Structure 1
C-alpha cells in the first residue's frame, strides 16, 4: 500500500457539537457501503495528568499516540482514517506527520449554536465540569470559526439528524463515489 494513497477525514468542532456521535455514524454508514476505514477519537490521545513539562498543550503526546495507532492500522492495510478532535481541522499538518505520509485530507467543522451546544452538554456532563465545558465550548466555537481555513467544510448540526450530518461529511470525502474503489477491493486489506 502506497503511503500517498492514504486519506483522512478530520471532524472538528466545539464541545457539544456531536463529533463523537457523528464519527460513529460515519463509520456505520461506511460499513454499510463496505468501505474500509478506521476511526480514532482524538480526545483519548492526550488524557494524561500532569502534562509533560516540555509539552504543556500535549501536542507532541497527541501526535505520538496518533502515529502509533495509525502505524498499526496501516500495517493491517487500512488507508482511510476518520479522526475526531475539537481542533483537528486546524491541525492537518500534525495529522499528516502522524500518518507518515502526504495523505489527502478532508476536514469538516461541525457547528452548533450556543443553545444547542448547551442542551447537549447538559445531558452529557453530569460531573463537576459542566460550567467549564460550556465556557470553553463558546470560546472554542468562536476560535474555530475565525481560524479554520476556507477549504474546511462547515456542517451545521442544529435541528438535524445524525444520519444526515454524517452523510454530508462522507459526501465531502467522495469516498462513496470514487469509481476506482469497488467495495470488494476496498475490503481486501493487505495483511
Structure 2
C-alpha cells in the first residue's frame, strides 16, 4: 500500500483509496495540465522534455517534469500487474500529489506510448478528471532513430530497442489521436524542436508563439 504523508498536518493518506483521491482532486487539482511527449525510441523525448523545461523556466512558467519510464521501472513485474500499468499509475498519482500540494499545476510527462488514447484515463485519475491534456508526438525516420540509439551506446538491449523502435513508430503514427501535434525531429536542433512544443502548449503565452 502506498502512503503519502503531509496532505493535512500530521495526516496520512492511502493513495489507493478512490474516495480520498477524488475528494483531494476536487479541492486541489481543478486546473491541472499535462504535456505528453511521446514517440519512438531514439526520437529524443527525454532531451526535448528537458529543453522544454528550460524554455519554460526562462519564461518563469511554473511546472514539474516526470520521465514516465521510471514510474514503472521494476523487476520482476508486480504480481497481477504484468505490464506494470498499475504501479506506474500509483507512482504517478503519488508523485503528482506531492507536486500539486505545493502549488504546481503543469506537468511535462515523457513516455513512448503516453499520447495514445488508452493512456488518457491514467492521467485523469492521477491529476483529476478536468486535467487539460496536450499531446505531442515526436517523429524521426528509421535511419535517424537508429543513428541516435547507436550513439547512446545502450549496451545489451540495443538490438531490442532498434527493433522495437520501428514497430512503435508505426503504431504511434496509426493510433495517435487526431488532435495530437506531430513534431518532426530529423536534422533539427533540440532548442528549435522544444520551442515548437512549448508553442503548442500555450503555457508561455501568445508572445512566445509569435517568436517561435
Instruction: Report if TM-score (shorter chain) is over 0.5.
Output: yes
Cα distance in 2, alignment partners of residues 53 and 61 from structure 1: 10
C-alpha displacement at 1:92, in angstroms?
Answer: 2.1
Alignment of 1:60-75 (within 5 A): 60-75=86-101
Alpha-carbon spacing, 1:2–1:48, altered in 2? closer, same or farther (3 Å)? closer
| Pair 1:159 & 2:178 matched | no
| Pair 1:93 & 2:127 matched | no
C-alpha displacement at 1:4, in angstroms?
Answer: 2.3
Cα distance in 2, alignment partners of residues 126 and 103 from structure 1: 35
* Coordinate RMSD, CA, aligned: 1.4
What's the secondary structure of 1:160's corresponding residue?
coil
What's the secondary structure of 1:66's corresponding residue?
helix
Alignment of 1:1-191 (within 5 A): 2-90=28-116, 91-177=119-205
Cα distance in 2, alignment partners of residues 138 and 126 from structure 1: 17
Cα distance in 2, alignment partners of residues 170 and 50 from structure 1: 37
Which deviates the most, 97-106 or 7-16?
A: 97-106
Contact 1:38 1:81 in 2 (8 A): yes
What's the secondary structure of 1:118's corresponding residue?
helix
Cα distance in 1, alignment partners of residues 139 and 107 from structure 2: 21
Contact 1:67 1:100 in 2 (8 A): no
C-alpha displacement at 1:126, in angstroms?
Answer: 3.6
Cα distance in 2, alignment partners of residues 110 and 123 from structure 1: 19
**More RCO (CA 8 Å, sep 6+):** 1
- Number of paired residues? 179
Structure 1 gap ranges (5+)? 180-191
Contact 1:37 1:78 in 2 (8 A): yes
TM-score, reference length from structure 2: 0.81
Cα distance in 2, alignment partners of residues 20 and 153 from structure 1: 17
